[in-house]
């Protein structure tokens, strides 16, 4: 991020010099002769001239400062938006690639040709969707002034599709959602990101395991939990770069929530608590 511009005016040092000169000139007041008549006039005229110039200079500097401040704010907004896009890009692409990796690994154990063809269809669909998202996001990052089409924000109605896509990798997902009416759009996005990252994490580390996804209200909070039964026998973990949970934690914390992870009974347990006052 760039440093915020500061208000600096060239009128201040000039006015200080003029004031010092006027003070020294006033020391001559009271002298006799022509100087006694001329010096007071010069002092008054100089003071008025300096005051007028200082006011005009201050206004010019103020306008220049506001122009720099506006440009700085616009730059910061663009950088913040591009950072958000980069985070979304990571979430979407890493999830898609994680599903592809797990589906390819699971295909080794598919004995029937029909099952192998279905797996290849799933891999192709995930590849096309991930490539399209990657192309769209890179277009936005390269030219922020012309962002092009933007995908709509995910809402809670996207949870069944997220679970269905995870099920195509072999995960056996049990989704339970309580009364979630009136949740703000930002929290809905965070809920979907939490479920998506939790399932992707399970697919990479545990393989086609049993997963329980719970979304409920707890007073002023929305609680999301993703719990798996642990790695299946013979599964080789394919860990990612490690940015997924860190990015998810940053997203949840930015909303005032908390994200906790722990290993329970051989499985992995992820819980996000996000504040959202009910209407």
Q: How confident is the model at residue 15 (pLDDT cuts 50, 70, 90)?
A: low
CATH number at residue 222: 3.30.565.10
253 occurs within a structural domain: yes
d(CA 40, CA 31): 11
| Per-residue pLDDT tens digits for 94-124 | 667 767 777 777 676 666 777 777 777 777 7
> What would the pLDDT profile of 23-48 be if each residue is shown by its tens digit?
666 665 555 556 556 666 666 676 67
For 155-178, what is the mean pLDDT? Answer: 88
pLDDT category, 21, cuts 50, 70, 90?
Answer: low
| Domain closes at, from 73, 95, 121 | 73
- Does any domain span residue 134? no
Both structure tokens of 225: 């939990």
Residue 216 has pLDDT above 90, yes or no: yes
Say if 120 falls within a structural domain.
no
Q: Is the pLDDT of residue 139 over 60?
A: yes
**pLDDT grade for 222, boundaries at 50, 70 and 90:** very high
Determine the average pLDDT of the residues in 258-279.
Answer: 87
pLDDT of residue 174: 94
Burial class (CB in 10 A: 0-12, 13-18, 19+), 185: exposed
* Residue 160 sits in the same domain as residue 69: no
pLDDT digits (tens, 9 = 90+) for 42-83: 666 766 777 777 778 778 878 888 888 887 777 776 676 667
Q: Is residue 211 included in any domain, yes or no?
A: yes
Our count of domains for the chain comes to: 2
pLDDT score, position 236: 78
Of 39 and 217, the structure prediction assigns the larger pLDDT to: 217
Q: Are residues 160 and 65 in the same domain?
A: no
Query: What pTM value is reported for the model?
Result: 0.55
150 has a pLDDT exceeding 60: no
The answer to whether residue 255 is domain-embedded is yes
Domain housing 30: 11-73
Percent of the chain with pLDDT over 90: 15
Residue bearing the bigger pLDDT, 91 or 255: 255
Indicate whether 160 belongs to any domain. Answer: yes
Q: How many Å apart are CA 267 and CA 131, to the nearest integer?
A: 32
Q: Which two tokens stand for residue 26?
A: 């006033």
Planar angle of CA 60, 3, 5, nearest 5 degrees? 10
Q: How far apart, in whole angstroms, are the C-alpha atoms of residue 116 and residue 110?
A: 6
Confidence of residue 149 (pLDDT cuts 50, 70, 90): very low
pLDDT computed for residue 279 by the predictor? 47
Share the mean pLDDT of the chain: 76
Residue that finishes a domain, picked among 29, 51, 73:
73
| Predicted confidence band of residue 142 (pLDDT cuts 50, 70, 90) | low
CA distance 259 to 274: 9
- Pairing of β 172-177 and β 210-218: parallel
């Amino acid at each position: 991020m760039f440093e915020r511009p500061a208000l600096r005016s060239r009128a201040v040092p000039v006015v200080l010099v003029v004031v010092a000169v006027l003070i020294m000139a006033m020391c001559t007041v009271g002298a006799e002769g022509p100087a006694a008549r001329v010096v007071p006039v010069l002092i008054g005229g100089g003071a008025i001239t300096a005051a007028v110039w200082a006011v005009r200079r201050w206004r010019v500097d103020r306008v220049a400062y506001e122009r720099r401040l506006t440009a700085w704010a616009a730059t910061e907004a663009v950088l913040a938006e591009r950072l958000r896009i980069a985070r979304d890009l990571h979430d979407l692409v890493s999830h898609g690639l994680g599903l592809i990796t797990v589906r390819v690994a699971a295909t080794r154990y598919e004995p029937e040709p029909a099952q192998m063809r279905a797996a290849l269809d799933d891999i192709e669909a995930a590849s096309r969707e991930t490539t399209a998202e990657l192309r769209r996001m890179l277009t936005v990052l390269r030219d922020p002034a012309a962002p092009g089409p933007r995908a709509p924000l995910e809402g809670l109605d996207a949870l069944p599709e997220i679970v269905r896509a995870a099920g195509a990798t072999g995960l056996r997902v049990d989704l339970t959602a309580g009364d979630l009416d009136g949740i703000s759009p930002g929290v809905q996005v965070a809920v979907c990101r939490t479920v998506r990252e939790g399932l992707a994490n399970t697919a990479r580390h545990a393989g086609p395991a049993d997963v329980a996804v719970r979304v409920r209200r707890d007073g002023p909070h929305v609680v999301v939990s993703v719990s798996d039964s642990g790695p299946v026998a013979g599964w080789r973990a394919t860990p990612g770069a490690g940015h997924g949970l860190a990015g998810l934690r940053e997203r949840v914390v930015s909303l005032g929530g908390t994200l906790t992870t722990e290993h329970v009974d051989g499985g992995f347990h992820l819980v996000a608590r996000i504040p959202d006052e009910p209407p």
